[in-house]
Amino acid sequence: MRVLVTGGAGFIGANFVQQTVAERPDARVTVLDALTYAGDRSSLAPVADRVSFVQGSVTDADLVDGLVADADVVVHFAAESHNDNSLTDPSPFVQTNVVGTFTLLEAVRRHGVRYHHVSTDEVYGDLPLEGGERFTPATPYNPSSPYSSTKAASDLLVRAWVRSFGIEATISNCSNNYGPYQHVEKFIPRQVTNLIDGVRPRVYGAGANVRDWIHVADHNTAVWAIIEAGRVGETYLIGADGETSNLEVVRTLNELFGRDADDFDHVADRAGHDLRYAIDATKLRTELGWAPRFTDFRSGLAATVDWYRANEDWWRPAKAAVEARYARGGQ
């Protein structure tokens, strides 16, 4: 099977490519990645000899057309992915997330290629902290940020291309991922690398916000389950019942570093900060038989801390610039 992976040098994409190469000897993987600040070719170093790498943008119609023509399935991870950045400059989010998806859909339509669209639970907006409500595939779209609104727009393009042009596509909306190779701008790697540097964790606002954490390896087994057995035109929500408040995350990290659990700083809150995300993954579990392997968040977090300790060469070059940017916003 010829698999075209967009955004394969990013966090989830690189894990997907490494897992695919390790577990699917029949897969011939090509990565298309623009190598923005978030992409790192060294994340593919362990499988470099088994993967074709093309540096370029998903908005480049000619490049995309040739690569899609040569694929059996396209798995679209490439995106601008960080909410905070989308508040500073939404422009690349519109280009990559909306125009890039449009460009891929047109190529997929021309060549009749199977397409899987990787999206986020943030398209549904947020939930109250209390009450236990969870997102389902029937939850109305209600995105809050420039990032999540461009992801929502891209999902709607996919749905329209399925209905109007009959393309063979599936969509997945996943909750917050953690694990190796995540950029230091994101919450967990930022705190882990701060702690390695002896800096107190930084919590936005009061820290009561809840995210539904899933290990990146579990996200990727779900993506493969959908590609192989998902029904065309359907949306699957991916989540592993990992609801945890930001306060709980930093307390656990402090404990893993042998520190006082409550030794952290509150910093300026994010504008429009979503309160809570929670996924009901019943459809994925019952229809496709998927189940997560990483069910204990604390031990998954401990393994992630170990990875950042062992791979300072990977994250160190980006750290100072990320912290300088946060400092300018009082975060």
Catalytic residues: 121-122, 147
Instruction: By CB under 6 A, tell whether 284 contacts ligand NAD.
Output: no
Instruction: Evaluate whether 184 touches 319 at the Cβ level (below 8 Å).
Output: yes
Name which of 145 and 254 has its Cβ closer to ligand NAD: 145
The site partner of 125 among ligand DAU, ligand NAD, none (C-beta below 5 to 8 Å per kind) is: none
Spatial distance between the Cα atoms of 113 and 22, rounded to a whole number of angstroms = 24
Instruction: By CB under 6 A, tell whether 57 contacts ligand NAD.
Output: yes
Single out the residue of 252, 261, 268 nearest to residue 206, CA to CA.
268
**Residue whose C-beta lies closest to ligand NAD:** 10
Q: Return the exposure string of 59-90: e unless at least 16 CB atoms fall within 10 Å of the residue's CB, then b.
A: beeebbbebbeebebbbbbbbbbbbbbbeeeb
How far apart, in Å, are the Cα atoms of 251 and each of 18, 270, 287, 326? 31, 20, 36, 21
Mark the segment that binds ligand NAD (CB under 6 A) among 30-38, 245-253, 270-278, 304-312: 30-38
Least Å distance, CB 88 to ligand DAU, is 13
Name which of 55 and 299 has its Cβ closer to ligand NAD: 55
Least Å distance, CB 81 to ligand DAU, is 4
- Residue count, binding to ligand NAD (CB under 6 A): 32
Single out the residue of 118, 111, 100, 86 nearest to residue 11, CA to CA.
118
Single out the residue of 79, 88, 109, 123 nearest to residue 235, CA to CA.
123
User: Which residues contact ligand DAU by CB under 6 A?
Assistant: 81-83, 120-122, 175-176, 186-187, 190, 202-204, 209, 211, 246, 270, 277
With both helix axes pointing from N to C terminus, report the angle between 11-23 and 216-229 in degrees, rounded to the nearest 10: 60
Give the x-and-dash track for 69-98 against ligand NAD (CB under 6 A): --------xxxxx--------------x--
The site partner of 7 among ligand NAD, ligand DAU, none (C-beta below 5 to 8 Å per kind) is: ligand NAD
Chain centre distance of CA 245: 19
